Amino acid sequence: MIIRNAVDAVAAVLFPAPCRICAQTLITASRIPICTDCLASFQPITDPMCDCCGRPFISKVAAEAIRPLCRLCRLDSFSFSRARSYAVYNDALHSAILLLKYEEVTRLGDWFATRLAEVVARQPAEFRADVVVPVPLHTDRFRERGYNQADLIARPLARRLGLKRGSYLLMRTKPRPARLVLSRKEHWDSVRGAYATREGVRVDKLRVLLVDDVLTTGATLDACSRALKKAGAAEVLGLTVARVVTGLPPSNPQPRREAY
């Protein structure tokens, strides 16, 4: 511990770096450029939650059902079997995801993958899978950015879980609308039929772990899941780093409205 502290102190003096979220100087030699205060402001999602889509419940009442489901999942809206997220999409996590998305901070992808592996470890039987698939970007966007942020999470996650990564299995065939902010309905419309499996690939009977950065309405995971199941996937399980949660008590910061 003394050595560790000494290493941190030396690192802080030799390589003073600011936290990429709040700009205070990092005092520990962390692998990721985020300070402990900002990390502590992430709000991991824990039980009770919807057993299907992972929406957190405010009260325990709903959780007492045999299979606790939210209103949407009781209507059988989603084609994936289950979705879980590491934490609530609050301001701090939003900033962290922007670092991954636009600045390719790969170490943050590793860190998120570790958090998602912990989520999987809570329900090992339910999240047993054969392959990890990142939600793909449309080719135009991929060319523009040069990488897919979901893949920066999927790659270390597959390694951690000892699974194959199938980033070639799925593709986005319809580009995202140019407008940044979409209504809930526009979002559903924009992703409906927007994904397909690549011709000739086999996903027959595979259990797919589908990975994305943010779950907003669940429409993207749903559209990907439909494409995979149409191609024969046995089951699709969704994992995202963040989840937009509305209607939490005021002590929780409200998620900011983000472009889908």
- Minimal distance, residue 221 CB to Zn ion, in Å: 12
- Minimal distance, residue 188 CB to Zn ion, in Å: 15
In the complex with Zn ion, the residue whose CB is nearer, 85 or 167, is 85
- Minimal distance, residue 92 CB to Zn ion, in Å: 8
d(CA 37, CA 196): 41
Q: For 98-101, which contacts have Cβ atoms below 8 Å and span 24 or more sequence positions?
A: 99/20, 99/21, 99/33, 100/149, 100/152, 100/153, 100/213, 101/149, 101/213
Please name which of 80, 99, 107 lies closest in space to residue 239, comparing C-alpha atoms. 80
Please name which of 78, 72, 84, 73 lies closest in space to residue 45, comparing C-alpha atoms. 84
* 3-class SS shares of the chain: helix, strand, coil, % to 5: 35, 15, 45
In the complex with Zn ion, the residue whose CB is nearer, 151 or 212, is 212
- Minimal distance, residue 202 CB to Zn ion, in Å: 30
- Minimal distance, residue 169 CB to Zn ion, in Å: 25
Residue type, 22: C
In the complex with Zn ion, the residue whose CB is nearer, 96 or 131, is 96
d(CA 210, CA 215): 12
- Helix and strand totals (H; E) in the chain: 9, 7
Give me the residue label for tokens 């996937």: 233
In the complex with Zn ion, the residue whose CB is nearer, 76 or 204, is 76
d(CA 115, CA 142): 25
In the complex with Zn ion, the residue whose CB is nearer, 73 or 224, is 73
Q: Which residues lie near Zn ion (CB under 5 A)? A: 19, 21-22, 35, 38, 50, 52-53, 55, 70, 73
- Minimal distance, residue 48 CB to Zn ion, in Å: 12
In the complex with Zn ion, the residue whose CB is nearer, 73 or 228, is 73
